[in-house]
Structure formats: C-alpha cells, structure tokens
Structure 1
C-alpha cells in the first residue's frame, strides 16, 4: 500500500472522491513528515500549518456535502516564495523584502484555490530567483533529498526538494534561465516550463519581464498536466499573457510516442558543453527507449549553447537591473553575495547590447522553429552534471552554468525536464523535451511515454 506522502495528486483526488481518504488525513500525514524531514531539507521558508489544516477540514466537509470545487479539491500545493499568497510574506528569500506581506493572491494562486487546492506554505528559493545556494541570507538554503550534502537545483529549490521528498505532491516554481527544470533535474522529478504567455505571472516578483515563466513541479507527468490545467489561461493584467485556446494538457498522455519525430540535439552535450559521462550515457539510453517505443529519432542542430547563453545573459541582466537598481544603489549590503554579484553586471549593459540581444533572439527563435517543422518534439540534455555538494562553492559555480535549459527561455518554447537515471553517486540525472508553441500537451505526451517505459518515477530518495 502506497504511503500517504507518496500519493500523487491524481491518486489523492480520486481517494477523496471515493471517500477512502480525507483531505485532513492526508494533511496530517504530510505535516508529520514535514516536521520530521524539513529540519534537514529547509524546503520551507514558512509552513502555514494551521491554515492548511483548517482548509483541509473545510474541503472534507464540502466532500461530505457533495461539493467538489475542482480537480485539485483538497490537494496540498507548495508555493515558491516569489509568488504572492495573500496574508503571507513574499520575501524572495531576501533581507530586502523580509517584512513584505502580500495583499492579494497571485493569479496562479487564485486559480489553484478555484481548483480546490490547499496552499501549504511558502518555499525556499535562491535570492530573488537569481542567486545560488547561499548561507548569508535570512533563511538557510534548501537541500537535495537524495543526499542533503548536495544542492537541489534552483532557483525553485524548495519546490524541487519538497516534491521529491514527499512533503507535498505539487509545487509551483518559476523559470527564467531554467529554474523549474534545474530542481526537477537535480531532484529526479518532473518540471515544466510552459510556453511563454500560457501562465500568468501577475503577482509574481519579476526577474526578467521577457524571460520569466511560472511552471509546475510534480513527481509524475500526469500530475504535471493536472497542475498546468489549473494554472494556465489568459490574463489581460499580464502584458506577456497570450490569448490562446490551449487546454486539457493531459489529453494525449496515453497515446505513447509511436511515429512521433524526435530531434535529438546532441551537440549541446557532446560539443558545446561536454557532459559528465553518466549524463551522456543516460541521454543515449533515453533515445534507445523512445526508439523502441516507436518514435523516430533524428539528430538535429541549433545555434550553440554559448550563443543562447549570451543572449539570455544580456536580456536577463538588463531587465533585472531595471528592477533592482534602486535597492542595489541604496541597500547593496542587504543582498547576499551571490545575488548581488549576478545582478550588478546589468548596470554596465548598454541599450545597444540589449537591442542587439533581442534582434539575435529573433534569429535563434527562427532556428528552433525551423527544426520543429520537421520534428514533433526536440530532446536534449538538461543539466550536464549531477548536483554538486552544497558546501563546495567552487564546484557549484563551475557546474551550475553547465546546462541546456537557457535556450528555451530565450525562445519561449515549452520545455520539460525529468529523471533519466541515477548516477553512480546515487544522484539523479535528467533529460529535457521541447515542443512547439502552445503544444505543451505533446511535450507531456512524450514525457509520459518515457515515464511508462522506464519507471524512474517509482524511484524515491533514500531520506525516509
């Protein structure tokens, strides 16, 4: 029998509807697990236990009365602490905003509540979603449940660690240069950066206006689709929001990958940033599995990772400087060292740099679009290495930029990272799937096909 803390959101919702489990029973089990494990993982900045239990009891009463608010009725969700939850601090893991209380829910949190979800608390992040695992901030950094001596990826670090450890089944993160997919890769779960504009960012503290995304982190692909269904939709209050009809993102999950054309971007991990041998081997194995399942695998090329990274860096630093300049001038000492170091280069970017990066951006978007004319989905590395030790700043600084996630923030295509094996040191390695604009459903379809064929999602961290 599955332990309650390992239930997927879909399983929990079915059990609630069948009245074989109550939301309060699940919440009790999760709060006990959090009390036991989070002192080692630091996934939470603020656990809102009393409110979450009250909401669980209210959800239970609604079920008894025959009222189900939505597909996530009674299901707990963790929220990255750059996303507003009314009445709770949005600290961005920083001294700068330590006492800032949200006056309203972010749009994505509103949508979660409409779907019946229960907000369990606010989760650790890298400072302002741009620092790294830092020990000079008001809260300790989150740690990897596969080995707490290692980092869990970021910047949605608490989201990844908490989902992987069974503290909650669902979490929201944000992704500007890979910050949903990095913790998914490091923690062995599923993280999707949706198509740019598919999910509202109103009520989310910005890092880069034209690169930011909000996305779901889950233990299964089906749960990822379920969470995306809840949060997607046009928001006229978000200037980047798209008026699209894309919906029902789990509709293709059972179709398998037969006859899908998958373009394998090998040069990302073979030439541009040569990957750890165990990562390379895992990616080759993913290709073999998908081919055995009936997919057509072909090698494709894109501009180099170096070029994508340069575009991302100029745009991100320029836009982030426009947000942080007043505080960096007036309160530089209230930033942690890593975030301050990563934000300051924006002061030296010129208008020409920014316009040049945006012009080149259009060209690399065209290159990805061209590949997707002949392929249904692209496949590539996510992280080039397993997660480093959290106390090894030099190794973390070396390995953190060794990734292939940034290109798809630049282009805005949907991109999903998921577990593709375990390295010899017991830490997850990963793969990334990329799709056409607003065809997030096909990306999830490929991920679901791979998940069924390999069962990596059944692997759990040894933390407890």
Structure 2
C-alpha cells in the first residue's frame, strides 16, 4: 500500500492518518519518491525540501501517536507555488531578481496550513512573477504538462497544476489574477478554485496586480478542494481586503443534490471562438447537470464585450507599477516575455485605467442582476486544450473566459469535464460572492458523473 499512497486524495488519506493505519512519514516518503522520480522530466518543482519534509512528518507522527491529531490536513504532504512566503526560506517568485529572497514572515495561508499540521515537500515552478500563462520559465526551465510533455501545463500556477496531476503532491495552492489557478487546473485535468475576493488572505504573497489577485486550492478532487478552503479562508488583519465571514465546513456541505438549481448560459461571450472539441465536452457536461435535476436559462451580460480591455489594462498597469524600480535599474534580469509586458504596461493612460475600472463596476452590477435569476454560470474554462511549449502568444486568449471572475471578484471553479483529442478539458462554474459552498457542491455533483472515466496521465511515457 505504501507505494501507492501518493495516488490518493486528502479525503482518502486523512482517516488513515487519523487512525494510524498509515504514518505521515511513510506518506511523505511516498510523495517525495514520486516527485523525485518524475521532476527531472516534468519540472514541476524548483526545490524539493526532502529533509525538512521528513522532519515535519516525523513530528506530525509523534503528535498523532500522542493523541494530538489536528484535523484533515495533519500529516498530509503539500507543495505550494513559489510565490508564497515561508519564513526564513527562499521564495524566488519564478525570477532571477528574487532568486535569493527570504521573507521574515510566513504568508498567512502558509501559517494556517502549518497550524493544520500539513507537511511541505517543496516549492513549485511558475511563470516569472506570475505574469504569463505558460510556465515556460526562462530561469528555471519550462514546466511540462504530464498529459503530454511537449505541451504547457498553463500558468502562472503551472507547477501546481502539473504536480497535482502527476501525483507529485497531494494538493497545492496557486494564485489567480487572470485565471492562473483555473487555467492550469483545466489543462492538467484537476480541480482549481478561485475564491471570492476577500475570502482568503493574500498577505505574504508577492503581488501581480493588487486588485485582481487571489489565492486558492488546486487539488485532485472537489472534496479535497473544499477541505483545503476550510483551512485557508478567513479574515486577516494583515490583509485589509479580507472580509469578516462565518467559518464554513465546506466539505460537509457536499451533498451532490443540485435538483432545482438554475444554471445560466451566456452564449455570446463564453461560447464564441471555442475549439469544437472543448465546446462539445462542456455542452455534454451541461447536459449531465440537467440530468441531475438542474435547469438551464440563457442569459445576457453585455459588458463582457469589454473583458479583455478591462482585464489587460488593469493587470498591465498594476504589474508595471509594482516592478517599476527594477525595470529601470535591471531590466535585463527579467525574462523576455515579462519584460515586454512590463514595458507595455507603461502605454495605458490614467484615462484607460479609470475606464477599465468603470467597466468593472458595470460588470459587477450586471453579474449581480444575472445572479438574481440563476444560481451559477457554467462555461468552458479555456477556449482550447494545452498548447505546445513555445506557443507563448496566448495571454489574451487564455484570460478571456477567466477574467470576468477576477474583474468582479466572484468565485469560480474549474472542474474536469472530459477530453478533446486526448487532452483534458475544464468546465467553469461561477457564482455570486461567497457562494463557494454552492459552486463546490455543483462541481461535486458533476464530478460524481465520472467525466474523466478514471484516466490519469500515462507517466510511463514520461520516463521513456
């Protein structure tokens, strides 16, 4: 059994750890073995912290043996995107400039996971400064999609998507400014949630664009996603954007009953310019939701026409502001693509930026009106399956369907819904603010239809 532990989910492993059927040490050793075996080919990790992980696993084992079980993440190995600060440890943010940066504090989400007893097996590859959708990193090398090593895992949380997909970690956290959780989740065939803005603290996460950034879980299953969200959600005095909310045990609300839920479909925006294979899989997924008792209603959201303008203007100008000093004194230390985007961020005027914010205000109002009629919106997550490595001109196309959730701050989840030409397809479920329990339950109900038919990446081909 020990050899197969890395394949299991949090919800499967937690009871076994709690009742001492397995130990955190043997579980961590299993995950580390898988990570070390496949990382040379996939390049999901930039740093495997084996010694620290095993020491933490030993400590967790001792605590549990003495009756000090902390909960479902106690003794569970996780690996996080290399943008989240660990006190005293290097956090490179996928860059050369910050390659030796060490924080004096833990990120709030890291602190919460530590308190939960999670084990950290290393830092995961990402697009430089989270400013891109490929994770073709010039400083650490490209991260590769476990389903096809010639293809990208998406970005910027590509290492998280690839590591979870290839069982090189049990779960992960990513960040999402224009789809950087949901995109890799869709392309790698896993579950990725961008929570409501203000539900999860961003303290200790290097920013890409302040007003658009989010942190959220990337997992093998919907239930695992709900479990991780329980531990990282909550108001934080270190992040003034967080809001006071009731503590929710999301995993206990996964009934799978979605009878009577109204699903909104916005055809004009979300189903235009979509690869036929992707569209077919998502439409089949919607039919399955209907068969589970959901109702379908066609809706219109006119402001979506301006999504790419509002998203790209906001993200470019905010990102360029953050990196302004280093762009002046050491521009050559940025990768070519990020350097170009940061220069491009100097082009929009104050008028452009303020118009983008006006679009956001209108968009929030229109979404609010729509959610008075429907419970959720369902759409493709991306208009395509994983592109080949080197096809870097996908930023605008890749954020188009994901950006509305960032611009409005509304929660959205990507759940696998099938395959197009052998590559995973993701379906997006988006809901009103702080409706995570509902969208997780709808995703859970859909997951129970077994859209992936038990298929996993064929890692035997990776070692050939």
TM-score (norm 1): 0.96
CA change 1:320–1:82 in 2 (3 A) is same
Per the alignment, residue 335 of structure 2 pairs with: 336
CA distance, structure 2, for counterparts of residue 339 and residue 314 of structure 1:
15
Per the alignment, residue 432 of structure 2 pairs with: 436
CA change 1:134–1:376 in 2 (3 A) is closer
CA distance, structure 1, for counterparts of residue 220 and residue 135 of structure 2:
26
3-state SS in 2 of match to 1:421: strand
1:350 deviates by 2.0
Per the alignment, residue 366 of structure 2 pairs with: 367
CA offsets 1:126-182 (integer angstroms, 9 cap, x no match):
000003446662201211001111000110010000000001111000000000000
CA distance, structure 2, for counterparts of residue 80 and residue 305 of structure 1:
30
Does the Cα contact within 8 Å between 1:153 and 1:186 map onto a contact in 2?
yes
1:459 partnered with 2:445: no
Per the alignment, residue 405 of structure 1 pairs with: 402
CA distance, structure 2, for counterparts of residue 188 and residue 134 of structure 1:
16
CA distance, structure 1, for counterparts of residue 149 and residue 137 of structure 2:
18
CA change 1:336–1:117 in 2 (3 A) is same
CA distance, structure 1, for counterparts of residue 212 and residue 350 of structure 2:
18
Count of residues paired in the alignment: 459
CA change 1:134–1:220 in 2 (3 A) is closer
For 1:102-251, list aligned pairs within 5 A.
Answer: 102-133=103-134, 137-245=138-246, 247-251=248-252
Does the Cα contact within 8 Å between 2:135 and 2:143 map onto a contact in 1?
no
CA distance, structure 1, for counterparts of residue 69 and residue 184 of structure 2:
32
Per the alignment, residue 17 of structure 1 pairs with: 18
CA offsets 1:178-210 (integer angstroms, 9 cap, x no match):
000000000000000000000000000001111
CA distance, structure 2, for counterparts of residue 203 and residue 312 of structure 1:
23
Q: Give every structure 1 segment of 4 or more consecutive aligned residues whose post-TM-superposition deviation is greater than 4 Å.
A: 396-399
Does the Cα contact within 8 Å between 2:212 and 2:407 map onto a contact in 1?
yes
For 1:24-63, list aligned pairs within 5 A.
Answer: 24-63=25-64
CA distance, structure 2, for counterparts of residue 208 and residue 392 of structure 1:
24
1:399 deviates by 5.3
CA change 1:189–1:382 in 2 (3 A) is same
Gaps of 5+ in 2: none
CA distance, structure 1, for counterparts of residue 137 and residue 293 of structure 2:
50
1:447 deviates by 0.1
1:3 deviates by 2.2
CA distance, structure 1, for counterparts of residue 152 and residue 75 of structure 2:
31
1:306 deviates by 4.3
CA change 1:140–1:429 in 2 (3 A) is same
1:124 deviates by 0.5
1:379 deviates by 0.6
CA change 1:179–1:134 in 2 (3 A) is closer
Q: Give the superposed CA RMSD.
A: 1.6
Gaps of 5+ in 1: none
CA distance, structure 2, for counterparts of residue 262 and residue 110 of structure 1:
37
Mean alpha-carbon deviation: is it higher for 132-141 or for 162-171?
Answer: 132-141
CA distance, structure 1, for counterparts of residue 136 and residue 402 of structure 2:
25
1:422 partnered with 2:423: no
Per the alignment, residue 386 of structure 1 pairs with: 385
Does the Cα contact within 8 Å between 2:171 and 2:217 map onto a contact in 1?
yes
Mean alpha-carbon deviation: is it higher for 346-355 or for 197-206?
Answer: 346-355
CA distance, structure 2, for counterparts of residue 133 and residue 181 of structure 1:
13
3-state SS in 2 of match to 1:177: coil
